[in-house]
C-alpha cells in the first residue's frame, strides 16, 4: 500500500519535473532546416545590420534566408503589388502602421502574431515579449491585433552639426522660432553650407511635416477623421515648413528623401536635419561622426509634438513557411541581437537593450539616447502619417501641397483643395476598403 | 572671284565641321560621361568642377558585382529576352507570312493598333489575370508580358521581308509537290534569313530594355537588370560610381548588338513604317 | 493566330468591363458595378486633367524639337565627308541604350550638387537652374532627355529619305538659279514630307505613352509637376491598387492616343 502511494507520487513528480524541463528547454531550432524564406526589408540601418548577422541564423537553424533590401518607396510598392497578386513569395516583411497598417489588416495581408508568440514550441521563453517598450507594441498593434514585432523606438529628432554651431556661437534651438533663426544664420550659400535640410519629396515629406503640423497646434484630422489641413494652424505649419526650406535649405530640396538629407548631413553641408532617429547609425560611420549632435524636437505654439511610430516585422498570410518565418523574426529580435543592434547606434524597441550596462558603457551617442528617451516621455505623440485608409494616395496629395508651398505657391488655396481632394478620396475608397 | 568663292567655301566647311562637332558632342557626351564616371571614386564624382584627369578605379564594378546577385539578374535578363524573342519568332513568323501572302489588311491594322496601345493598358488586365493564375513573379508571366512588345514587332518587320519574295518561288515549290509546311520551312525561311536575324536582335534589345512590365511582374528572384539597377537608386546622390558602373554593364550588350544590325535598326524601330 | 488575337483583344475587353466597376486589387470583395461613376469622377479629377495637359506638353515639345533638329542633322549627314559612316553609327546608340540606365546618367548630369550641367551653366555665366528639381523646368528637362534619345531616329529616317530623292527637280532648280535655301524649302521639304510624317506619327504615339525615363528620373515629381497621364495611371493601378478607376482612365487614355493618331494619319493623306 505504502509502496503504491510512493510510486504514484514519484510518477506525478516525474511528470511534473519533465514538464518543467520542457518549458525551460530551448525550442527545437533545427525543426525547419532546409526551408528557404524570403525576407523583404526597407533600406535602413537595421536592415544593413541584420544582413551581417544572417549567416549565424542560417548556421543555427539550417533555414536559408533570401534577403531583399529595397529603397523605401520601391519596397512599399513591391510589397503591395506582391500581396495584391497573391504570389506567396514574401514570408517576412517590414512595414509601418501609419502607412500599411489598416489597409493591410483589412486586406488580410498581416498574419496575427499572438498565436506564434504564445506557442512554447515556436518561441523560447527568454524571448520575453514584455521587454518591448509598450509604446512600440502599440505601434505594432492595428485595431487590437498584434501584427508585427517592433524594430525601433522610432521618433522624430533633431540632428545638428556641432562644429557649425560652435563656430557661429549659438545654442541648439529649443523652439521652432529659434530653429528658424538658427537655420537662417547658419546658411552660407557661397560655401555650399545650408542651415537645414528637410525632406521635400512629396509623399516622403509628409512624414517629417507631421511634427511641424502638430507642434503648430494643427492635426491631420478631427475625431471623425475629417481632414483638418486647411485650419489656420495647418496653414501656418505649411508656411513654416516651406519658409525653412526656402530660406535655409539646399537647392533641389523638393526631390530630397531622407537619404539625400542624410548625405548632406554626413558631408557637412547641412547644419540641421530633422528626421527619424533610426538613421543615426549611418552617420556614425561618416568622417563627421564626432561632429553630429542630437536634440529633442523644438517646441512650437501647439507644444512639443514630434511624430513617432516605428517599423515592425510581420509574417505574410500567403506565406507557406510561416513557422520558419517566425523563427527568423523571433531570432532577429531576441535580446542578444537587439542589444547588438543597439550597440551599433540603432534605437531599438527593447527596454533591456536601453538599460543594459554594456550599452550604457559603450554608448557612442549618449546624446541620441537622451534625445530619444526624452521624446518617448512626451505625451500624445502624433503619427507620422494621416489616418485614412487610402494613405498612399493621400500622402501624395499632401506632399504635392508641401512642394507647392516650398515653391512659393498660394498655400491657402492649395490647402483647401487638399482637403477637398481628401474628402473625395475618402468617399471613393473607405466604403470599399472597410 | 574664285578666291573669295574659295574662302566662302572654307568658311562654310568650318561651320559645317563645328555643327557636326556639336551634334556629336551632344550625342556622345552622356554615354561617355556614364563610362567615365563608372571609373571614378565617389569623391571624384562629387567634386565641382568635374575632374577630367583622375586615377581610374575598377572598384565600382567589383562592388556592383559582389554586393548584389548581379549575375542572377543578368541571367534573368538573358533568359527572359531569349524566350520572349524565340517565342515571338515562332508565333510571329507564320502570322507575318500569312499577312504578306494573303494581303490580310485587317489583321495588319490590328497589329498596328497593338503597337499604339500604351503598355500599361496591357499591364493592368494581364496583372489581374496572372494574379488569379498565380503567375505574377514567375518567368512565365514575365516572358508573356514581354511578348506583347516583341510579337507585334516581329510580325511587322517580317511582313516586309516576306512581301519582298517573288511569288514565283512559291509556285515553283508547289509544282514540285511541296506541302504548305515544307514550302514555308524549306523555301521561305531560308530566303528571309537576314530579316530573321535583324528582327531577332531588335526584339531581343526591346525585351532587354523593357522596364515597366518587369517592375510589376518580376519578384526578387526573377527581376531583370533594368529593375535591379532602378533599385540602386536609393543611393541616389550617394554612390554615383556604382550607379554608372551598373548602367554601363546593362547598356553594353545592347550597344554591341545594335552595331551588328545597324542597317535594319531604323526601319525596325519605326515598325517598318518607312518602307510603307 | 488565335493566341495573338486573344493577347490583343482580351485586355481591351477586360479593361472596358472593369472600368464600370469599383475594385481594388487589395480588396477581398469582388468587383462591384458602379456604372459611369469612374468616368464622372475622372472628369473632375484635377490630376487626370492636368496629366493630359502635361502629356500633350511633353509630346508636343519633344516631337517638334526632334523633327527640326532631326532634319538639320539629316542634312548635315547627307554631305560626303570622312567619318560619315562612323558618325551615323554612333548616333544610333542613344535610341537603343537601355532607358533606365540612360535615365540614371541624366539624373547625375542634372544633380544639384555635382551635376555637370549646373556647373556648365555657371561657367558660362548663366544663372543655374534646378533642372528636374524645379517644377517649372522639370518637363523641359525631361524633353531634353527625350530629344537626346530620339532625334537620331528622325535624322536617320530623314537621311534615308534624302538619299532616295529623285535627282531631276534639283537639276532644273539649278538651271533656274535657285539658292540653297530655296531648294531646301521648295523641293527637299515637300519631297521629304511623306517620310517625315510617318516618323512623326510614330514618335508622337511613343511620346504620348512614354514611361521609363520619366518614372526613373522624377516619378512624376516634384509634387505632380511631371506626372503625365501614363504615370498617373500607373500610380493609380500599382501604388493605389485602384484597378477600377485606373481602367476607366486607361480607356480614355487609349481613346486620346487613337484620336491623335487618326488626326495625324488624315493630315498625312492630305499632304499627299
Q: DSSP readout, C105-146?
A: HHHHHH-TTT-HHHHHHHHTTPPP--GGGSTTTHHHHHHHHH
Whichever domain contains B139, its CATH number is: 1.10.3720.10
Residue range A19-43: mean pLDDT, rounded? 76
DSSP A291: G
Residue B4 has pLDDT above 80, yes or no: no
Predicted local confidence at residue A4, as pLDDT: 57
Contacts (Cβ under 8 Å, ≥6 apart) of B64: B70, B242, B245, B246, B249
Please tell me the least confidently modeled range out of A60-64, A169-173, A304-308, B147-151.
Answer: B147-151
Read out DSSP for A96-152? EIIIIIHHHHHHT-S---HHHHT-TTTS-GGG-GGGB-HHHHHHTEETTEE--EE-B
Would you call C18 exposed, middle or buried from its count of C-beta atoms within 10 A (0-12, 13-18, 19+)? buried
Residue A24 has pLDDT above 60, yes or no: no
pLDDT band at B270; cut points 50, 70, 90: low
A260·B221 Cβ contact <8 A: no
Distance (Å, rounded) from C-alpha C80 to C-alpha C138?
39
Residue range C89-99: mean pLDDT, rounded? 86
Question: What is the least distance, in Å, from the CA of B181 to any CA of chain C?
Answer: 16
Contacts (Cβ under 8 Å, ≥6 apart) of B17: none
Of the partner residues B120, B225, B262, the one whose CB lies closest to the CB of residue C92: B262
Distance (Å, rounded) from C-alpha B145 to C-alpha A291?
52
User: Using CB atoms, which chains have 3+ pairs under 8 A with A?
Assistant: B, C
> How confident is the model over A367-401, as pLDDT tens digits?
899 999 999 888 888 999 998 888 889 999 999 99
- With an 8 Å Cβ cutoff, the interface of chain B facing chain A consists of 46, 127, 130-132, 134, 136-138, 216, 219-221, 230-231, 233-238
Please tell me which residue, B175 or A116, carries the higher pLDDT value. A116
Contacts (Cβ under 8 Å, ≥6 apart) of B49: C119, C123
Question: What is the least distance, in Å, from the CA of C39 to any CA of chain B?
Answer: 16
C221·A73 Cβ contact <8 A: no
Predicted local confidence at residue A6, as pLDDT: 54
Enumerate the β-bridge partners of residue A274. A158
C123·B49 Cβ contact <8 A: yes
Distance (Å, rounded) from C-alpha A225 to C-alpha A232?
18
Residue for cell digits 529659434?
A178
Residue for cell digits 551598373?
B246
Query: Are residues A93 and A313 in contact, defined by beta-carbon separation less than 8 angstroms?
Result: yes
C148·B26 Cβ contact <8 A: yes
Q: Which of C144, C145, C114, C146 is nearest to C128 (CA)?
A: C114
Of the partner residues C41, C46, C222, the one whose CB lies closest to the CB of residue A254: C222
Polymer length of chain C: 272
Distance (Å, rounded) from C-alpha C156 to C-alpha A20?
83
DSSP A35: -
Residue range B192-206: mean pLDDT, rounded? 85
Please check whether residue B46 lies inside any domain of the structure. Answer: no
Interface test with C, best of B124, B219, B245 (most C CBs within 10 A): B124
Which H/E stretch holds residue A403?
A: helix A391-406
Predicted local confidence at residue A389, as pLDDT: 86
Residue B63 has pLDDT above 90, yes or no: no
Buried (b) or exposed (e) across A93-102, using 16+ Cβ within 10 A?
A: bbbbbbbbbb
Can you tell me whether residue C272 is helix, strand or coil? coil
Distance (Å, rounded) from C-alpha C71 to C-alpha C152?
10
Whether residue A317 lies within 8 A of chain C, CB to CB, comes out as no
Of the partner residues C22, C135, C222, the one whose CB lies closest to the CB of residue A432: C22
Over the Cα atoms of chain B, what is R_g?
Answer: 24
Alpha-carbon distances of A103 from A84, A95, A107, B266, rounded to whole Å: 12, 12, 6, 48
Enumerate the β-bridge partners of residue C242. C24
Residue B236 has pLDDT above 50, yes or no: no
CB < 8 Å to B216, chain A: 81
Of the partner residues A66, A86, A257, the one whose CB lies closest to the CB of residue B220: A66
C133·A421 Cβ contact <8 A: no
CB < 8 Å to A89, chain B: 137, 219-221
CB < 8 Å to B246, chain C: 101, 104
Question: What is the least distance, in Å, from the CA of C238 to any CA of chain A?
Answer: 6
Domain with B95 in it: 67-269
Predicted local confidence at residue A326, as pLDDT: 94
Predicted local confidence at residue B197, as pLDDT: 84
Contacts (Cβ under 8 Å, ≥6 apart) of C8: B110, B111, B113, B114, B117
Whether residue C235 lies within 8 A of chain A, CB to CB, comes out as yes
Quick one: closest CA in A to B131, which residue? A85
Please check whether residue B222 lies inside any domain of the structure. Answer: yes
Give the Cβ contact number of residue C84 at 10 Å: 14
Could you tell me what percent of chain A has a pLDDT over 90? 53
Please check whether residue B60 lies inside any domain of the structure. Answer: no
User: What is C31-271's CATH topology?
Assistant: MetI-like fold (1.10.3720)
Read out DSSP for B186-209? IIIHHHTHHHHHHHHHHHHHHHHH
> How confident is the model over A184-201, as pLDDT tens digits?
999 988 888 999 999 998
Of the partner residues C25, C221, C242, the one whose CB lies closest to the CB of residue A201: C221
Query: Are residues C26 and A85 in contact, defined by beta-carbon separation less than 8 angstroms?
Result: no
Distance (Å, rounded) from C-alpha A316 to C-alpha A322?
8
Residue range A52-59: mean pLDDT, rounded? 92
Predicted local confidence at residue B55, as pLDDT: 81
For chain B, where are the alpha helices, taking DSSP H only? 2-38, 42-46, 59-67, 70-102, 105-116, 119-132, 139-164, 167-175, 180-182, 189-191, 193-209, 212-217, 225-230, 240-260, 262-269
Number of domains forming the structure of chain B = 1
Distance (Å, rounded) from C-alpha A52 to C-alpha A62?
17
DSSP A278: G
CB < 8 Å to C38, chain A: none
Q: Tell me the domains of chain A and their CATH numbers.
A: 36-152+309-355 (3.40.190.10), 156-307+380-433 (3.40.190.10)
DSSP A71: -
Sheet holding A311-315, edge to edge: A64-70, A36-42, A92-96, A311-315, A149-150
Predicted local confidence at residue B267, as pLDDT: 63
Name the grid cell of C256. 486620346
Query: Are residues A86 and A53 in contact, defined by beta-carbon separation less than 8 angstroms?
Result: no
CB < 8 Å to A71, chain B: 231, 233-234
Alpha-carbon distances of C115 from A252, B40, B51, C122, rounded to whole Å: 12, 15, 12, 11
Whether residue A255 lies within 8 A of chain C, CB to CB, comes out as yes
Read out DSSP for B112-131? HHHHHS-HHHHHHHHHHHHH
Query: Would you give the distance in Å from CA B241 to the centre of its chain?
Result: 25
pLDDT band at B275; cut points 50, 70, 90: very low
Give the Cβ contact number of residue A121 at 10 Å: 11
A396·C242 Cβ contact <8 A: no
Greatest pairwise CA separation for chain C in angstroms: 78
Please tell me the least confidently modeled range out of A357-371, B143-157, B258-272.
Answer: B258-272
- Side-chain-side CA neighbours of C5 within 13 Å: the count stands at 4
pLDDT band at A299; cut points 50, 70, 90: very high
- Side-chain-side CA neighbours of A255 within 13 Å: the count stands at 27
Please check whether residue B59 lies inside any domain of the structure. Answer: no
pLDDT band at B269; cut points 50, 70, 90: low
Of the partner residues C123, C152, C261, the one whose CB lies closest to the CB of residue B27: C152
Of the partner residues C111, C132, C223, the one whose CB lies closest to the CB of residue A400: C223
Enumerate the β-bridge partners of residue A64. A36
Whether residue C49 lies within 8 A of chain A, CB to CB, comes out as no
Name the grid cell of B103. 494581303
A71·B219 Cβ contact <8 A: no
C132·A428 Cβ contact <8 A: no
Q: Which of B88, B73, B116, B106 is nearest to B220 (CA)?
A: B73
Residue A111 has pLDDT above 90, yes or no: yes
B250·C215 Cβ contact <8 A: no
User: Using CB atoms, which chains have 3+ pairs under 8 A with B?
Assistant: A, C
Question: What is the least distance, in Å, from the CA of C27 to any CA of chain A?
Answer: 5
Chains B & C: contacts with CB separation below 8 Å: 229
Please check whether residue B42 lies inside any domain of the structure. Answer: no
Would you call C108 exposed, middle or buried from its count of C-beta atoms within 10 A (0-12, 13-18, 19+)? buried
Predicted local confidence at residue B3, as pLDDT: 58
Whether residue C26 lies within 8 A of chain A, CB to CB, comes out as yes
Whether residue C78 lies within 8 A of chain A, CB to CB, comes out as no
Domain assignments of chain C as residue spans, ordered by start: 31-271
Predicted local confidence at residue C270, as pLDDT: 61
Query: Are residues C51 and C228 in contact, defined by beta-carbon separation less than 8 angstroms?
Result: yes
Predicted local confidence at residue A132, as pLDDT: 92
Residue B240 has pLDDT above 90, yes or no: no
User: ipTM value of the model?
Assistant: 0.85
For chain C, where are the alpha helices, taking DSSP H only? 2-18, 37-43, 46-77, 84-90, 93-96, 99-110, 116-123, 138-163, 168-176, 180-183, 189-208, 212-217, 229-238, 243-271
Enumerate the β-bridge partners of residue A303. A300
Question: What is the least distance, in Å, from the CA of C225 to any CA of chain A?
Answer: 9
CA dihedral for C258, C260, C266, C271, sign (positive or negative)? negative
C113·B237 Cβ contact <8 A: yes
Distance (Å, rounded) from C-alpha A134 to C-alpha C142?
48
- For chain A, the average pLDDT equals 88
Would you call A124 exposed, middle or buried from its count of C-beta atoms within 10 A (0-12, 13-18, 19+)? middle
Of the partner residues B48, B113, B247, the one whose CB lies closest to the CB of residue C104: B247
> How confident is the model over C236-267, as pLDDT tens digits?
999 998 899 999 999 999 999 989 988 888 87
Question: What is the least distance, in Å, from the CA of B62 to any CA of chain C?
Answer: 18
The pair phi, psi for residue B31, each rounded to 5°, is -65, -45
Of the partner residues A393, A399, A433, the one whose CB lies closest to the CB of residue C223: A399
Distance (Å, rounded) from C-alpha C213 to C-alpha C132?
12
> How confident is the model over B131-178, as pLDDT tens digits?
888 888 889 989 988 988 888 888 888 888 888 777 777 777 777 777
C116·B33 Cβ contact <8 A: yes
Which H/E stretch holds residue A79?
A: helix A72-84
A255·C133 Cβ contact <8 A: yes
Amino acid at each position: 500500500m505504502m509502496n503504491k502511494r510512493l510510486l504514484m507520487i514519484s510518477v506525478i513528480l516525474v511528470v511534473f519535473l519533465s514538464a518543467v524541463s520542457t518549458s525551460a528547454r530551448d525550442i527545437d531550432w533545427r525543426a525547419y532546416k532546409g526551408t528557404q524564406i524570403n525576407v523583404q526589408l526597407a533600406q535602413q540601418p537595421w536592415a544593413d545590420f541584420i544582413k551581417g548577422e544572417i549567416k549565424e541564423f542560417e548556421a543555427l537553424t539550417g533555414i536559408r534566408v533570401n534577403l531583399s533590401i529595397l529603397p523605401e518607396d520601391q519596397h512599399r510598392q513591391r510589397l503591395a503589388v506582391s500581396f495584391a497578386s497573391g504570389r506567396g513569395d514574401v514570408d517576412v516583411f517590414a512595414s509601418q502602421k501609419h502607412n500599411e497598417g489598416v489597409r493591410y489588416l483589412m486586406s488580410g495581408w498581416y498574419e496575427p502574431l499572438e498565436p506564434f508568440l504564445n506557442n512554447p514550441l515556436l518561441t523560447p521563453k527568454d524571448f520575453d515579449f514584455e521587454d518591448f517598450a509598450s509604446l512600440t507594441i502599440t505601434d505594432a498593434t492595428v485595431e487590437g491585433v498584434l501584427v508585427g514585432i517592433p524594430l525601433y523606438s522610432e521618433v522624430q529628432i533633431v540632428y545638428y552639426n556641432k562644429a557649425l554651431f560652435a563656430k557661429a556661437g549659438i545654442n541648439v534651438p529649443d523652439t521652432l522660432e529659434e530653429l528658424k533663426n538658427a537655420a537662417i544664420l547658419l546658411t552660407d550659400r557661397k560655401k555650399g553650407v545650408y542651415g537645414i535640410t528637410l525632406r521635400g519629396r512629396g509623399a516622403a515629406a509628409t512624414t517629417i511635416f507631421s511634427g511641424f503640423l502638430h507642434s503648430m497646434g494643427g492635426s491631420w484630422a478631427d475625431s471623425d477623421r475629417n481632414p483638418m489641413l486647411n485650419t489656420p494652424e495647418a496653414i501656418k505649419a505649411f508656411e513654416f515648413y516651406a519658409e525653412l526650406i526656402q530660406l535655409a535649405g539646399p537647392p533641389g530640396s523638393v526631390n530630397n528623401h531622407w537619404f539625400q538629407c542624410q548625405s548632406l548631413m554626413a558631408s557637412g553641408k547641412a547644419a540641421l536635419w530633422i528626421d527619424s532617429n533610426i538613421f543615426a547609425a549611418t552617420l556614425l560611420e561618416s568622417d563627421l561622426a564626432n561632429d553630429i549632435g542630437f536634440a529633442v524636437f523644438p517646441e512650437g505654439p501647439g507644444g512639443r509634438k514630434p511624430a513617432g511610430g516605428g517599423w515592425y516585422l510581420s509574417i505574410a498570410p500567403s506565406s507557406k513557411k510561416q513557422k520558419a518565418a517566425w523563427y527568423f523574426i523571433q531570432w532577429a529580435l531576441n535580446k542578444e541581437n537587439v542589444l547588438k543592434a543597439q550597440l551599433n547606434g540603432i534605437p531599438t524597441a527593447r527596454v533591456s537593450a536601453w538599460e543594459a550596462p554594456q550599452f550604457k558603457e559603450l554608448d557612442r551617442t549618449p546624446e541620441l539616447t537622451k534625445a530619444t528617451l526624452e521624446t518617448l516621455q512626451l505625451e500624445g505623440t502624433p503619427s507620422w502619417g494621416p489616418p485614412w485608409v487610402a494613405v498612399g494616395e493621400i500622402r501624395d496629395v499632401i506632399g504635392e501641397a508641401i512642394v507647392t508651398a516650398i515653391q512659393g505657391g498660394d498655400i491657402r488655396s492649395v490647402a483647401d483643395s487638399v482637403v477637398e481632394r481628401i474628402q473625395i478620396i475618402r468617399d471613393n475608397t473607405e466604403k470599399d476598403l472597410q | 572671284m574664285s578666291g573669295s568663292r574659295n574662302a566662302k567655301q572654307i568658311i562654310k566647311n568650318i561651320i559645317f565641321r563645328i555643327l557636326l562637332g556639336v551634334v556629336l558632342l551632344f550625342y556622345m557626351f552622356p554615354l561617355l560621361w556614364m563610362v567615365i564616371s563608372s571609373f571614378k571614386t565617389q569623391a571624384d564624382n562629387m567634386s565641382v568642377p568635374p575632374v577630367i584627369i583622375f586615377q581610374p578605379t575598377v572598384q565600382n564594378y567589383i562592388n556592383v558585382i559582389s554586393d548584389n546577385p548581379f549575375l542572377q539578374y543578368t541571367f534573368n535578363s538573358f533568359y527572359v529576352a531569349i524566350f520572349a524573342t524565340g517565342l515571338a519568332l515562332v508565333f510571329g513568323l507564320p502570322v507575318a507570312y500569312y499577312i504578306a501572302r494573303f494581303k490580310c489588311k485587317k489583321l495588319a491594322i490590328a497589329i498596328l493598333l497593338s503597337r499604339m496601345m500604351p503598355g500599361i493598358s496591357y499591364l493592368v488586365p494581364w496583372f489581374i489575370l496572372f494574379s488569379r493564375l498565380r503567375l505574377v513573379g514567375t518567368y512565365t508571366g514575365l516572358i508573356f508580358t514581354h511578348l506583347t512588345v516583341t510579337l507585334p514587332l516581329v510580325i511587322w518587320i517580317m511582313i516586309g521581308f516576306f512581301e519582298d519574295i517573288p511569288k514565283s518561288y512559291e509556285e515553283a515549290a508547289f509544282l514540285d509537290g511541296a506541302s504548305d509546311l515544307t514550302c514555308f520551312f524549306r523555301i521561305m525561311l531560308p530566303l528571309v534569313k537576314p530579316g530573321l536575324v535583324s528582327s531577332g536582335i531588335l526584339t531581343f534589345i526591346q525585351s532587354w530594355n523593357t522596364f515597366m512590365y518587369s517592375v510589376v511582374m518580376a519578384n526578387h528572384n526573377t527581376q531583370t537588370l533594368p529593375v535591379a539597377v532602378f533599385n540602386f537608386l536609393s543611393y541616389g546622390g550617394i554612390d554615383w560610381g556604382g550607379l554608372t558602373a551598373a548602367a554601363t554593364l546593362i547598356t553594353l550588350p545592347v550597344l554591341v548588338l545594335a552595331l551588328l544590325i545597324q542597317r535594319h535598326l531604323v526601319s525596325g524601330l519605326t515598325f517598318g513604317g518607312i518602307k510603307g | 493566330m488565335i493566341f495573338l488575337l486573344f493577347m490583343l483583344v482580351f485586355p481591351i475587353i477586360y479593361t472596358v468591363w472593369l472600368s464600370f466597376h469599383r475594385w481594388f486589387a487589395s480588396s477581398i470583395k469582388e468587383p462591384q458595378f458602379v456604372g459611369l461613376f469612374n468616368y464622372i469622377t475622372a472628369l473632375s479629377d484635377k490630376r487626370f486633367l492636368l496629366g493630359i495637359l502635361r502629356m500633350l506638353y511633353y509630346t508636343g515639345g519633344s516631337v517638334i524639337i526632334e523633327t527640326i533638329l532631326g532634319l538639320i542633322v539629316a542634312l548635315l549627314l547627307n554631305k560626303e565627308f570622312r567619318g560619315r559612316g562612323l558618325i551615323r553609327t554612333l548616333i544610333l546608340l542613344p535610341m537603343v541604350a537601355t532607358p533606365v540606365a540612360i535615365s540614371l546618367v541624366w539624373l547625375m548630369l542634372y544633380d544639384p550638387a555635382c551635376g555637370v550641367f549646373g556647373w556648365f551653366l555657371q561657367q558660362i555665366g548663366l544663372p543655374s537652374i534646378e533642372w528636374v528639381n524645379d517644377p517649372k523646368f522639370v518637363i523641359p528637362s525631361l524633353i531634353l532627355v527625350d530629344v537626346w534619345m530620339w532625334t537620331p531616329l528622325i535624322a536617320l529616317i530623314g537621311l534615308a529619305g534624302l538619299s532616295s530623292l529623285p535627282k531631276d527637280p534639283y537639276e532644273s532648280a539649278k538651271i533656274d538659279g535657285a539658292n540653297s535655301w530655296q531648294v531646301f524649302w521648295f523641293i527637299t521639304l515637300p519631297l521629304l514630307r511623306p517620310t517625315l510624317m510617318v516618323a512623326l506619327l510614330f514618335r508622337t504615339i511613343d511620346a504620348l505613352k512614354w514611361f521609363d525615363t520619366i518614372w526613373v528620373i522624377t516619378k512624376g515629381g516634384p509634387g505632380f509637376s511631371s506626372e503625365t497621364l501614363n504615370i498617373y495611371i500607373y500610380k493609380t493601378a500599382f501604388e493605389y491598387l485602384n484597378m477600377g478607376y485606373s481602367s476607366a482612365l486607361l480607356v480614355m487614355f487609349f481613346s486620346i492616343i487613337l484620336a491623335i493618331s487618326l488626326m495625324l494619319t488624315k493630315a498625312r493623306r492630305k499632304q499627299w
